[in-house]
Amino acid sequence: MRAMSRARVRPRRRPRAPAVAATLLTTATALGAVGAVPAAADSVGLPVVRSVLAEDDTCASVSGEKAKAEPWTLGSLGMSRAKPLSQGAGTTVAVVDTGVAEGAPALSGRVTALGAAGEDCVGHGTFAAGLIAAAPGDEGGPAGLAPQARILAVRGTDERGGSTAAQVADGIRQAADEGAQVIYVAVALDSGKSQLTDAVAYASGKDALVVAPVAPDALPRNTEPEPWYWPAAAPGVLAVMDYGPDGSRPADAPLVSGADLAAPGDAVVSIGPKGSGHFIGSGASFAAAHVAGAAALVRARYPELKAAEVSRRLTEAAYPAVPPRLDPYAALTAVPTDDKGTAPRPERAVVPPPPATEPRTRALVIAGVGGGLVLLVAAGAVVIPRGRARNWRPAGS
């Protein structure tokens, strides 16, 4: 988490439909890793989720296709290890997006909507909410990182996905007022610095962690990039970049810098606003949804942590890369580096007192006298017989 971050972005090149192929699922299913519209989605029959509807577009329809294998995203994030530790129970994640369909089966009973946010014509908000908190299906397939978390649906766009800084700022404030512990924002705007910075500060004051994409999912052709995008560049926001199944970013994705974390965001699969079928999508907004889900896991396991501490735990426990890559299991198990342990107190050495000198002196005297007597006796035993043999007499005799 930064005091200020820069996101330098280059516009995408025109997607080349036949040029992309990447592994989406843990089976051999091939998908396209692209930016806003996965070109190879047709290879598995999954419809593409949209972020904005064109004038002649209708609302998102029901998908008749399902992905039954586990998505590559869950394996990449090591969710099989993280799941026993936390599933987000007791936490609320606000989704500031196109809305979240209250009737989505994978989110049944866990969506609270503000105003008209319980309807999602576009489908982007429901897709993102599925990445965060969808319950796993009976037949396998995609699931959210925090399947026991609650979703607070907040409209941050108009009905067709268009958004302004005022709409997003209002959505952030509403989510904070409703007590959301994590606030996911789907959009990245090139204006609205003051409004969005103030909204983020308001949410931070209520101990809510704001998570947002560091840049748009895609840029129109021939569009000059802006140096910063909001609210990701605001102080206190956890800014997120995406990567794909092979660990790299698509060639047509915006080139960004200044992200706090990277997470799976390309060629990802999630739910739609109607029915039980699945959609496919790509972009930094979906990477941010994964980070929001991981934040819910941490807040559920460590409810005493403040929002800034949760952000720090996610970034410091991340896999070392540029930027660091999200690791939910490590975030749930890491020991913060600023927690100082108790220094060990060595036991005092016990030094025995020196031996008494008097007994030692007495023993030496006795030994010396005894040794002298022995020498005298030995000498006498040698000298006296020899003297007798030579008829020695004492002097004067």
- Enter the tokens of residue 28: 């051999």
Which of 97, 190, 217, 242 is catalytic? The answer is 97
**Residue 323: is the preceding peptide bond cis (ω within 30°)?**
yes
Residue 2 CB burial class (10 angstroms; 0-12, 13-18, ≥19): middle
Whether residue 197 contacts residue 169, with contact meaning beta carbons closer than 8 Å, is answered with no
Q: Is 42 annotated in the active site? A: no
Q: Is 257 annotated in the active site? A: no
Which of 5, 86, 120, 124 is catalytic? The answer is 124
Give the integer Cα–Cα distance in Å for 242 and 325. Answer: 9
Which of 270, 282, 285, 311 is catalytic? The answer is 285
Whether residue 254 contacts residue 10, with contact meaning beta carbons closer than 8 Å, is answered with yes
Cα angle value 294/300/306 (rounded, 5°)? 85
Chain centroid to Cα 164, Å, comes to 29
Backbone angles phi, psi at 79, to 5 degrees: -70, -20
* Residues 320-355 as b or e (16 or more Cβ within 10 Å = b): eeebbbbbbbbbbeeeeeeeeeeeeeeeeeeeeeee
Q: Is 327 annotated in the active site? A: no
Task: List active site positions.
Answer: 97, 124, 285
